[in-house]
């Protein structure tokens, strides 16, 4: 059993809120987000950086949270899908994903939204090719990407 | 050198289980005193969108808002058995079950409304129930539900749709195995790099007979997804087994298409009505994917004048095909 | 279950001290894109883990008149976005953008790419084609080592386990030099290279090749410059016949190193094809 | 009153599940946790065919934080499951026939501990010869993987007189194709969480394509009547046929039953790729006859499907491949023989397309080759031979008004003919 004396206190900011959590140095950021903080919107699809389902923003940049040790996030800012929008105040990308049919099974959706958000924060009016590149680290098996790309394009045009 | 080719793939697909395998769906509707609706089905929406279509069907029949329906699915203590999610059967079998259920419930409510409004030509629409000839004779769906409850009429209805077919002759395989068939044709345009064996799919045109597109956005999305899954199969995806061991254990080795691997995809929905289908609808899940690999492989054949016999048409198989060593690994 | 001590110093001396003390059982983590899967699979069991991502001296891209220094924790994305790199070494920008996906480019570092010494690493062959040097630091001091001497065999750097790769140094290229990077993979993103071509080319006004450097990637256990091919073409005008001859020789050279494997039937001719295509494009590009 | 025919049907409405999914609040099985929850892990054979000489679980059981280690003798009900044919052992007894065969199941206080415990189990195997394709499986003297032999199913399709049909043909072509194994690659791996309630009912929240089918299998293994087992589907992250068969369900249920504590079991991606159901590799030979003016007159085929170590839905898949080998075309004389065999490969079962995909690769290839020989445009050739009202399929089903193949082909013809970039391609199409 992971003994508490093995654990280190990790301080970081998650979705704007400072958090302190005791972590084992072997844990990944993904594990801490999901199991310790209960933010299960971030998904694990492979655990080794091959699928992008666990994408979060670390200091504003997309990372596979399965490929970051929790302690590497010390003092840093993390943003997950839960920090993107609320039911009352959806991120325009969330609205667009709903309206234009970009969601099917939904398992890639949180990571996909995070990658799209990172793109638009940096480049509000990307080309279609730039959108494809931005989500090229996020696998989707249901949609064939077409409606996802379209949903992002629409926000980019309006944005 | 880059060589271009065009190919077609057509398919048909028997919907449901066929061959006398049990193919049933049940559906339950329960109306609350305030007119809000709980629907129950044993079917699982694993991402394809059946929950939405079921809500649309109920809304269509009862004239209520589809997004306000609470649909509970696939809980063996709570929902009736509706059979598994497979064989492109959900819209057809589950949808028919919900049509039956909705119509039974509507019949009950209609009786109450006729009595209250003193009219028999009632329309259920946009949350209201009114007389077609005298629209001022009306009552809200919500109020009607409360009045029906007060009279003690049944508020729960369960119906059953049986799509089980006959079996075929065991000696010849001949017979009416399926209730209906789905149809689709796709066209692929590809470019083959003869110096590397790389096949790039430039464009897919997908024509699918969906019977009736209950939700065209959903149909398109299913087809686009199916096409890309089919592309993966045609070009790259392969679980390698050697001596009983599996050699492809990561998504870095087993590679499905990314957003940068997709071609232009044009979707055309055709509606050749199926009289037994819900509003004429058939299934779309499998017909979306099946024509893509043959279309792509035929396009490669068209480009090269040579045919792949051992799938997939990956770098090595295509290169060796061009250079006369197809049997190579 | 993994159990190790984790240390994330902010200063290089602290890091080098820690490394020297625990050299035997210490692993260095930067972006973690290779190391974390290895930890997860329990391929490695370090007793100490040294995170160098918080050390400023190990990052940054800077230039002198003659050279460019790229800090070891420079990520592929940093590399792709650097104006200095785009100007001096567009081949590095192209390579950086071909690596993994956006998430891995945001994490993966060039130091890690070199230190992992994976046969399919994309950075390594490009840096080799640029005749890069690695800057190694330890409690004992600092030294520069030509990259082609820095990797002994696949997966194994040739430097001491108390040494930390702190930067890559590359001499600027003479004006008129052209470069090209090409990656053949099974898909367009998040794909390990099937083969890569890194080319550096300079010709005189008459079209004679003055200098050619060529490193194929993902075909040999340790990538290296194919000097035999470079020699074959240097000092000559690249005619079609000469290019075809060189393309065939590329495959032969590869087989000399690798021997015949299951993939040779494919890689041998295709590597030559790619070499010829990429070099021809470089020649005709202006 | 001019009202449209439909109010809600036929409109591109947003999905009812999309809001929860974009907010990250849709609950998948791996997202669920309960207090005092344990983590499950399965030890798999790792060898394709072997006799088990010994299983030693003592070291694993002795580990601190390991709640239970189950082997075959700990199963309260039957040690069998299978979606259509119960030919799979929940936990291996005396032998294993695939690398994926579960040998022991562990529940522990953390995922890492469960993994360590599985590693601590020692199993002694004696290797047996391996069969890896249908021909090896059917060869004389091949080791029998199941008591009834390696040929799970043989099906015949016979329509009309094939010999006569080929006599009418001016052109006869034959060819063999080999398709590969495909993984479903849903982004969510197989997962589930099981617990007992205070009344002794077993509650299982899991990925599923058919919760009632899962319930029947779990109840039988746990030795409970079906009404004491409750299977609830969590949000499912894609399936495509790959979550039709039982994956985590029976094992996670057994672990919860044995420990009385909630147990979560989530497969790693590697486990999903190397042990779970896949699309069948099928070898298909076929011979086609056509008149010189382009009318199909006969087709003959042989289909060899490798369903791996267990049936899954394989017999239906492979049968469907043979049944659809004619494609959506009218052929008066048909003869197809369909073989489904066991091998020591991992299990193959349902996958979107269900055998018809493999058939379509073949019938569409042959249609193109025949069209070429006849000098007829491939699209036109398809239209000429397409099924239509009154014609029957290869299995003798007469088409009614819902026969849509010609409509799709003609629509395709319209699309390509209206495309100026395809002018040369359309020569001879009209």
pLDDT tens figures, D318-371: 999 999 999 999 999 999 999 999 999 999 999 999 999 999 999 999 999 999
Rg (CA), chain D: 26
Chain C's closest residue to B200, CA to CA, is: C187
Same domain for A8 and A74, yes or no, is yes
Q: Which of C184, C187, C262 is the closest to B329 by Cβ?
A: C262
Tally of CB atoms within 10 A around C69: 17
Domain finish residue from A51, A83, A115: A83
Residues facing D126 on adjacent strands:
D51
Query: Which residues make Cβ contacts (< 8 Å) with residue C67, sequence separation at least 6?
Result: C169, C170, C171, C172
Q: Give A134's contacts in chain C (Cβ within 8 Å).
A: 102
Q: Which residues contact B14 (CB under 8 A, 6 or more apart)?
A: B177, B178, B179, B180, B181, D320
CB pairs < 8 Å spanning A and B: 71
Question: Quick one: A76 and A136 in the same domain?
Answer: no
Q: Which CATH number fits domain D29-127+185-266: 3.30.1600.10, 3.40.50.300, 3.90.1170.50, 3.30.1330.180?
A: 3.90.1170.50
CATH 3.90.1170.50 domain range(s) in chain D: 29-127+185-266
- What would the pLDDT profile of B254-266 be if each residue is shown by its tens digit? 999 999 999 999 9
Q: Is residue B92 predicted with pLDDT exceeding 60? A: yes
Residue whose C-alpha is closest to residue D333's, from D276, D376, D371, D295 = D295
Structural domain span for residue A38: 4-83
Same domain, C65 and C30: no
In chain A, the number of structural domains is: 2
Smallest CA–CA distance from A112 into chain B, residue: B259
Last residue of a domain, one of A83, A114, A149: A83
Contact flag D112-A48 (C-beta cutoff 8 Å): no
Residues of A in contact with C1 (CB under 8 A): 2, 26
Chain A: closest CA distance from residue C52 (Å)? 10
First and final C-alpha spacing in chain C: 58
Q: What is the dihedral of CA C180, C186, C190, C193, to 10 degrees?
A: -50
Interface B–D counts its CB contacts (< 8 A) at 355
> With a CB-CB cutoff of 8 Å, which residues 227-256 of chain D face chain B?
229-233, 236-241, 243-244
Q: Are the beta carbons of B161 and B28 closer than 8 angstroms? A: no
Report the C-alpha gap between D263 and B228 in whole angstroms. Answer: 36
In C, what residues contact D, Cβ < 8 A?
A: 1-2
% of chain D surpassing 70 pLDDT: 99
DSSP assigned state of B236 = T
Q: Which residues of C touch A139 (CB under 8 A)?
A: 190
User: Are residues C217 and C189 located together in one domain of the fold?
Assistant: yes
What is the sign of the dihedral through the CA atoms of D211, D213, D216 and D217? negative
B88 or B212, which is more confident? B212
For residues C277 and C240, membership in a common domain is answered with: yes
Counting one residue from chain A and one from chain C, the pairs whose CB atoms sit within 8 A come to 87
The predicted structure's pLDDT at residue C106: 98
Cα angle C136-C141-C144, degrees, rounded to a multiple of 5: 35
Per cent of chain C over pLDDT 70 is 100
Which tens digit of pLDDT belongs to each residue from C5-18?
Answer: 999 999 999 999 99
- Count of domains forming chain C: 3
**What domains are defined for chain B?**
2-14+179-322 (3.30.365.10), 24-162 (3.30.365.10)
Distance from C-alpha of B270 to C-alpha of B292, rounded to nearest angstrom: 17
CB contact under 8 A, B221 and A143: yes
- Statement to judge: residues C223 and C141 lie in one domain: no
Sort out which chain B residues have CB atoms less than 8 A from C120's CB and list them: none
Residues A56 and A20 in one domain: yes
C182 with C166, same domain?
Answer: no
Q: What is the pLDDT of residues B48-57, one digit of tens each?
A: 999 999 999 9
How would residue B328 be classed by pLDDT, with cut points 50, 70 and 90?
very low
pLDDT at C262: 86
Mean of the per-residue pLDDT values of chain B: 95
Q: Tell me, what CATH number does C211's domain have?
A: 3.30.390.50
Residue D410 tokens read as 């003609």
Nearest CA in chain C to D118: C1
Q: Is D23 on the interface with A (CB under 8 A)?
A: yes
Residue pair D206/D193 in contact by the 8 Å Cβ criterion: yes
Token pair for residue C49?
Answer: 């883990």
Provide CATH 3.30.365.10 ranges for chain D. 135-182+278-422
The predicted structure's pLDDT at residue A147: 98
A15-20: list long-range contacts, CB under 8 Å, 24+ apart: A15/A39, A15/A78, A15/A79, A15/A80, A15/A82, A15/A83, A16/A83
In a domain, C209, yes or no: yes
Q: How many CB atoms lie within 10 A of CB C173?
A: 18
Q: Which H or E run includes A29?
A: helix A29-31
**Contacts A47 to C, Cβ<8 Å:** 37, 40
- pLDDT band of C208, cuts 50, 70, 90: very high
Which residue in chain D has the smallest CA separation from B50? D15
Domain, as residue range, for C10:
5-51
Helices (H), D171-248: 211-222
> CATH number for the domain including C78?
3.30.465.10
Catalytic residue selected from B171, B286, B316, B326: B286
CATH number of D135-182+278-422: 3.30.365.10
Asked if B309 lies within 8 A of D324 by C-beta distance, the reply is no
Q: Look up the CATH number of the domain holding residue C32.
A: 3.30.43.10
Minimal Cβ distance to D360: which of B251, B275, B294? B294
CA-to-CA distance for D41 and D324, rounded, in angstroms?
40
Q: What is the mean pLDDT of residues B188-206?
A: 98
pLDDT at C232: 97
**Degrees, nearest 5: CA angle A43-A44-A47:** 155
D405/B183 CB distance under 8 A:
yes
Query: Which tens digits make up the pLDDT trace of C89-145?
Result: 999 999 999 999 999 999 999 999 999 999 999 999 999 999 999 999 999 999 999
Answer yes or no: do A21 and A51 share one domain. Answer: yes
Distance from CA of A92 to the nearest CA of C (A): 22
To the nearest whole angstrom, how far is the Cα of B10 from the nearest Cα of chain C? 26
| Same domain, yes or no: A12 and A70 | yes
By the CB < 8 Å criterion, does D65 face chain A?
yes
Query: Both A144 and A110 in a single domain?
Result: yes
Domain end residue (candidates: A27, A62, A83): A83
pLDDT of residue A2: 39
The answer to whether residues C69 and C167 belong to one domain is: yes
Within 8 A by CB and 6+ apart from D214, the residues are D204, D206, D208, D231, D246, D249
Token pair for residue B42? 């044993």
Are the beta carbons of B30 and B69 closer than 8 angstroms? no
The answer to whether residue A6 scores a pLDDT higher than 80 is no
In a domain, C56, yes or no: no
Probe site for chain D from A83, A141, A143 (most D CB atoms < 10 A): A141
- A108 and D187 in contact by Cβ < 8 A? yes
Q: Exposed e or buried b for every residue in B210-230, given b needs 16+ CB within 10 A?
A: bbbbbbbbbbbbbbbbbbbbb
> How many residues does the structure list for chain B?
329
B286 is catalytic: yes
């Amino acid at each position: 059993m992971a003994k508490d004396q093995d654990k280190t206190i990790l301080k970081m900011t998650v979705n704007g809120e400072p958090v302190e959590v005791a972590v084992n140095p072997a844990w990944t950021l993904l594990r801490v987000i999901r199991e310790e903080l209960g933010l299960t919107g971030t998904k694990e699809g492979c655990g080794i950086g091959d699928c992008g389902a666990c994408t979060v923003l670390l200091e504003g940049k997309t990372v596979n949270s399965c490929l970051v040790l929790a302690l590497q996030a010390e003092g840093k800012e993390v943003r997950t899908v839960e920090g993107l929008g609320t039911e009352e105040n959806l991120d325009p990308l969330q609205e667009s994903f709903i309206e234009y049919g970009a969601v099917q099974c939904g398992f890639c959706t949180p990571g996909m939204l995070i990658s799209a958000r990172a793109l638009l924060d940096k480049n509000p009016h990307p080309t279609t090719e730039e959108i494809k590149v931005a989500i090229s680290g996020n696998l989707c098996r249901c949609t064939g990407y077409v409606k996802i790309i379209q949903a992002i394009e629409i926000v980019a045009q309006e944005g | 050198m880059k060589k271009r080719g065009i190919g077609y793939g057509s398919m048909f697909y028997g919907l449901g289980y066929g061959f006398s395998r049990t193919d049933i769906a049940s559906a339950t509707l329960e109306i609350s005193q305030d007119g809000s609706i709980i629907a129950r089905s044993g079917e699982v929406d694993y991402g394809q969108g059946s929950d939405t279509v079921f809500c649309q069907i109920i809304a269509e029949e009862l004239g209520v808002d589809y997004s306000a329906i609470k649909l509970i699915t696939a809980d063996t203590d709570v929902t009736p058995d509706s059979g598994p999610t497979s064989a492109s059967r959900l819209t057809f079998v589950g949808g028919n079950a919900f049509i039956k259920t909705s119509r039974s419930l509507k019949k009950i409510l209609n009786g109450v409304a006729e009595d209250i409004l003193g009219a028999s030509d009632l329309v259920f629409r946009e949350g209201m129930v009114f007389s077609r000839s005298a629209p001022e004779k009306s009552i809200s769906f919500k109020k009607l539900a409360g009045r029906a409850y007060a009279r003690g009429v049944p508020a729960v209805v369960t119906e059953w749709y049986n799509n089980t077919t006959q079996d075929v002759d065991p000696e010849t395989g001949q017979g009416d195995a399926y209730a209906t068939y789905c149809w689709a044709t796709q066209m692929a345009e590809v470019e083959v790099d003869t110096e590397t064996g790389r096949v790039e799919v430039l464009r897919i045109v997908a024509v699918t007979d969906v019977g009736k597109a209950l939700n065209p956005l959903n149909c398109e999305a299913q087809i686009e997804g199916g096409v890309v899954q089919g592309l993966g199969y045609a070009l790259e995806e392969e679980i390698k087994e050697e001596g009983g061991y599996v050699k492809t254990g990561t998504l870095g080795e087993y590679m499905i298409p990314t957003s940068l691997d997709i071609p232009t995809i044009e979707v055309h929905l055709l509606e050749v009505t199926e009289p037994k289908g819900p509003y004429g609808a058939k299934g779309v899940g499998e017909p979306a994917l099946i024509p893509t690999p043959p279309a792509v492989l035929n396009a490669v054949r068209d480009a090269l004048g040579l045919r792949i016999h051992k799938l997939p048409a990956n770098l090595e198989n295509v290169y060796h095909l061009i250079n006369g060593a197809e049997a190579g690994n | 279950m993994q159990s190790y001590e984790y240390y994330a110093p902010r200063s290089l001396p602290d890091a080098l001290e820690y490394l020297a003390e625990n050299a035997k059982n210490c692993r260095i983590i930067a972006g973690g894109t290779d190391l974390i899967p290895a930890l997860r699979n329990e391929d490695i069991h370090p007793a100490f883990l040294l995170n160098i991502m918080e050390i400023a001296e190990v990052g940054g891209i800077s230039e002198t008149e003659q050279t460019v220094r790229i800090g070891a924790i420079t990520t592929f994305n940093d590399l792709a976005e650097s104006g200095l790199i785009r100007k001096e070494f567009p081949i590095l920008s192209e390579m950086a953008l071909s690596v993994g996906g956006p998430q891995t480019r945001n994490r993966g570092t060039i130091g890690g790419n070199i230190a992992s010494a994976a046969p399919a690493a994309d950075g390594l062959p490009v840096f080799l084609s640029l005749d890069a040097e690695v800057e190694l630091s330890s409690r004992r001091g600092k030294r520069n080592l030509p990259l082609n001497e820095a990797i002994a065999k696949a997966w194994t750097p040739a430097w001491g386990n108390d040494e930390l790769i702190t930067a890559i140094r590359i001499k600027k290229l003479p004006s008129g030099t052209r470069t090209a990077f090409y990656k053949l993979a099974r898909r367009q993103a998040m794909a390990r290279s099937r083969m890569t071509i890194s080319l550096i080319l300079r010709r005189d006004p008459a079209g004679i090749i003055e200098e050619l450097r060529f490193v194929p990637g993902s075909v040999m256990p340790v990538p290296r410059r194919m000097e035999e091919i470079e020699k074959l073409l240097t000092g000559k005008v690249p005619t079609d016949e000469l290019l075809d001859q060189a393309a065939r020789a590329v495959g032969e050279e590869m087989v000399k190193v690798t021997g015949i494997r299951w993939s040779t039937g494919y890689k041998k001719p295709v590597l030559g094809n790619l070499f010829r295509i990429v070099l021809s494009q470089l020649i005709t590009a202006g | 009153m001019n009202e449209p025919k439909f109010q809600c049907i036929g409109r591109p409405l947003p999905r009812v599940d999309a809001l929860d999914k974009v907010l990250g609040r849709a609950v998948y099985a791996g997202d669920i946790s309960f207090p005092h929850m344990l983590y499950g892990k399965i030890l798999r054979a790792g060898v394709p065919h072997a006799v088990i000489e010994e299983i030693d679980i003592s070291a694993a059981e002795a580990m601190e934080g390991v709640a239970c280690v189950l082997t075959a003798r700990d199963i309260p009900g039957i040690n069998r499951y299978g979606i259509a044919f119960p030919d799979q052992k929940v936990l291996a007894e005396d032998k294993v026939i695939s690398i994926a065969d579960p040998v022991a199941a562990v529940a522990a206080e953390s995922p890492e501990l469960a993994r360590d415990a599985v590693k601590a189990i020692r199993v002694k195997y004696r290797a047996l010869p391996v069969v890896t394709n249908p021909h090896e499986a059917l060869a004389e003297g091949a080791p029998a993987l199941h008591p009834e032999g390696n040929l799970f199913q043989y099906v015949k399709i016979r329509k009309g007189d094939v010999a006569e049909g080929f006599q009418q043909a001016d052109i006869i072509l034959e060819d063999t194709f080999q398709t590969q194994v495909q993984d479903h690659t849903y982004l969510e791996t197989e997962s589930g969480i099981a617990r007992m309630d205070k009344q002794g009912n077993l509650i299982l929240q899991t990925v599923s394509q058919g919760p009632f089918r899962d319930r029947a299998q779990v109840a039988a293994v746990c030795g409970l009547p079906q009404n004491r087992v409750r299977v609830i589907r969590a949000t499912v992250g894609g399936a495509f046929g790959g979550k039709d068969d039982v994956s985590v369900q029976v094992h996670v249920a057994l672990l919860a039953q044995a420990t009385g504590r909630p147990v979560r079991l989530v497969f790693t991606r590697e486990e999903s790729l190397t042990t779970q159901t896949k699309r069948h590799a099928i070898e298909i030979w076929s011979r086609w006859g056509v008149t010189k003016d382009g009318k199909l007159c006969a087709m003959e085929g042989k289909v060899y499907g490798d369903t791996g170590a267990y049936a899954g839905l394989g017999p239906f898949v492979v049968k469907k491949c043979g049944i659809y080998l004619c494609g959506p075309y009218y052929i008066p004389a048909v003869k197809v023989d369909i073989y489904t065999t066991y091998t020591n490969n991992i299990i193959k079962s349902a996958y979107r397309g269900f055998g018809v995909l493999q058939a379509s690769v073949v019938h569409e290839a042959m249609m193109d080759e025949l069209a070429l020989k006849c000098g007829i445009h491939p699209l036109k050739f398809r239209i000429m031979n397409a099924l239509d009202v009154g014609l029957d399929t290869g299995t003798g089903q007469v088409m009614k008004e819902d026969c849509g193949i010609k409509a799709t082909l003609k629509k395709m013809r319209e699309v390509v003919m209206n495309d100026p970039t395809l002018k040369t391609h359309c020569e001879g199409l009209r």
